[in-house]
Amino acid sequence: MPSERIRVAIRVRPAAPSAIAWSDGRVCIANTSFRCDTFLDETMDQDAAYAASGMAQLVESVVDGYSSTIFAYGQTGAGKSHTIFGPERNLGPATNLHGSQEGFLPRSVAVLMEAIERQSLETRCSVRMTVVEIYNDTVHDLVQPSGPLAVRWSKDTGFFLEDATVVECSSYDDIMHAVLAAAANRVHSSHHLNDRSNRSHCLVTIYVDSQAIAGGERKYGKLTIVDLAGSERAHDTGAVGTQLKESGYINKSLYCLSQVILALNSPRKDTFVPFRDSKLTMLLIDSLGGRSRTLMLACVNASPQFARESIRTLEFAMGVARIRNEPTVALSPQDKLVRDLRAEIKQLKHENEYLRSLSCLSRGQSMPALPFDGPSDNQVDDGRQDGIRPRSHTITETSSAKLVATTTPTITKGHTVPTSAAVQQPRSNQSRPRMGRSSSKPLLPVALPILLRNEPVTSSERPRKSTRASLPLLARDARLDPVTTTAAAWDDERAADLFAQLCQL
Ligand SMILES: Nc1ncnc2c1ncn2[C@@H]1O[C@H](COP(=O)(O)OP(=O)(O)OP(=O)(O)O)[C@@H](O)[C@H]1O
């Protein structure tokens, strides 16, 4: 999957009067406007907000081995927990979700379990989950509360939680029971802006391991749903004592998050990204600039009283929206090694082929037959799933000769040649071949750069009309690599016809 930007949806908590307006793809608060992907206005219920957010597509890709993250950010009382968990928190069976006020989490679990069910005839999946909170910059298990959990680093898996309780689940109800029990253990308290304010960041992570029943690669998808604690100012909340201390930790970890986002948006590629500065940023490393597909819910209160805080939330969201992630399928180390080696072999074959053709050209010889005909279909790893991108264009056997001849320098099945910038001209003019009867122009210097660049032939570059006489002869040859074919035509009068054929297709 190509790299993709983190998407941002703005969720508005209703208030009357409202300070927030939306027009032409922009949100406007107190004369400040922001562009945004998705605007979930105050009239939308949870059903409509979930459908418009696009979260369901991210959740479904978890079954294919991708990581997806949704995180809710915003001022205290802006509706983060309402959006993620729903108002009542007495979550019912999946069938009751439609039309209810349940939040994004139960809806995502329902979508996930449906996707697993749909694939159950071909794919075997196992589901596990953890629920933790980060309170005062220490991580606590919410499934079986105990002492703080250590965050460790491993070369293979990145940051991970040591000894977190992992719950095996086989149904929607299993997951929701665990989530509910865990949510009840979360630290909360009351202040001026929220009767039930969460004092910690909560991370629900659902792991989906999948493998085709017929065998093959084992994939490790992951869905992370994060309800962040709200940014707050002691002046507004009236926090003192423990609450004030909690407030300090919340704001510090959100500040670390903003520093990570600032660094990720730096134009300098070597900018240090301070992921290690807080537990929150360590655990979100995959979701920000990593291999996850991520959606941010920027929660704002529509009341004019909170316009300043809402603007700060949206400024933060605009920074997040510039970050690009590289969604990647997570494989077992063995499967990953096999994939990488296949991709490397394929690349080396291409390079070898290209060097052989260059070497033949520079000696003025036709190119000997290649020892292989490109990787067979079941060997080809097109890299689409694990984010490996080929270094130059590739055309498959099914591509038409027209495409081959006019739009790309690449020709035979799965073979690739570098772009024209890398192509060298023959060293000596004397050794250059001449065009056939119909032209005295040397063929190669004219034809090769045209064939190897990624543009059609212009009218001034076309050979004279008479050189196009015997096109049918070369119709089949036009499917061949132009480097190979042109090289074969060094000492051959058919070269001009070949060139004409390629120009005409
Ligand atoms: N879209 C909405 N529609 C109706 N009520 C909402 C909406 N959003 C939030 N609320 C209500 O506003 C109150 C505060 O919301 P919530 O607890 O979700 O805020 P929060 O951002 O999670 O706050 P904190 O960071 O302090 O935990 C709740 O009573 C909630 O039901």
Nearest CA residue ID for atom 9, ligand 1: 79
Residue 407: inside a domain, yes or no? Answer: no
Q: Tally the domains of the chain.
A: 2
* Residue with CA nearest ligand 1 atom 1: 13
The predicted pLDDT at position 495 comes to: 53
Per-residue pLDDT of the chain (505 residues; tens, 9 = 90+): 778 899 999 999 999 888 898 888 899 998 899 988 899 998 999 999 999 999 999 999 999 999 999 999 999 989 999 999 988 655 555 556 766 788 999 999 999 999 999 999 999 999 999 999 999 989 999 999 988 999 999 887 789 999 899 999 999 999 999 998 898 888 776 776 676 778 899 999 999 999 999 888 899 999 999 999 987 776 666 666 777 878 888 889 999 999 999 999 998 888 999 999 999 999 999 999 999 999 999 999 999 999 999 999 999 999 999 999 999 888 887 888 888 888 888 888 888 887 887 777 666 666 555 444 343 333 333 333 332 222 332 222 223 222 223 232 232 333 332 323 222 333 333 333 333 333 334 444 455 555 555 455 566 655 544 443 333 334 344 444 444 444 444 434 555 555 555 555 4
Q: Are 261 and 357 members of one domain? A: no
Count Cβ neighbours within 10 Å for each residue of 49-76 and write b for 16 or more, e otherwise. bbeebebbebbbbbbbbbbbbbbbbbbb
Is 215 annotated in some ligand binding site?
no
- If asked whether residues 115 and 214 sit together in one domain, one would say yes
Q: Mark whether 10 and 76 lie in a shared domain.
A: yes
| Nearest-atom index, ligand 1, CA of 193 | 26
Note whether 239 and 280 are same-domain residues: yes
b vs e for 490-501, b when ≥16 Cβ sit within 10 Å of the residue's Cβ? Answer: beeebbbbbbbb
Say whether both 138 and 227 belong to one domain.
yes
Reduce the secondary structure of 335-376 to three states and give it as a string: HHHHHHHHHHHHHHHHHHHHHHHHHHHHHCCCCCCCCCCCCC
Q: What is the pLDDT of residue 448?
A: 53
Angle (CA) 144-149-152 rounded to 5° is 140
CATH of the domain at 49: 3.40.850.10
Which atom in ligand 1 lies closest to the alpha carbon of residue 198?
A: 27
Considering the domain architecture, whether residues 161 and 210 belong to the same structural domain is answered as: yes
Q: Which of 125, 207, 198, 221 shows the shortest CA–CA distance to 161?
A: 207
Note whether residue 420 is domain-resident: no
Q: Whose CA is nearest to atom 3 of ligand 1?
A: 13
DSSP E strand stretches across 98-193: 123-135, 138-141, 151-154, 158-161, 167-169, 188-191
Residue at 173 is within a domain? yes
Q: 347 and 270: one domain?
A: no
By CB neighbour count within 10 A (0-12 exposed, 13-18 middle, 19+ buried), where does 453 fall?
middle
437 CA to centre of ligand 1 in angstroms: 82
Domain enclosing residue 168, as ranges: 4-331
For residues 149 and 164, the answer to whether their CB atoms sit within 8 Å is yes
Residue 38: its pLDDT value, please?
92
Q: Does residue 160 sit in the same domain as residue 274?
A: yes
> How far is the C-alpha of 40 from the C-alpha of 11, rounded, in Å?
5
Query: In whole angstroms, what separates CA 205 from the centre of its chain?
Result: 19
Q: Which of 86, 15, 11 is nearest to 53 (CA)?
A: 11
Residue 396 within a domain:
no
Does the predicted interface ipTM exceed a cut of 0.85?
A: yes
Integer Cα distance of 154 and 159 in angstroms: 6
Q: Is residue 123 part of a domain?
A: yes
Best residue among 81, 105, 133, 297 to mutate for probing ligand 1, ranked by most atoms within 8 Å of CB: 81
Q: Which helix (H) or strand (E) holds 74?
A: strand 67-74
Does 342 share its domain with 214?
no
Q: Are 14 and 102 in the same domain?
A: yes
396 annotated among ligand-binding-site residues: no
Give the distance (Å) from ligand 1 centre to CA of residue 147.
29
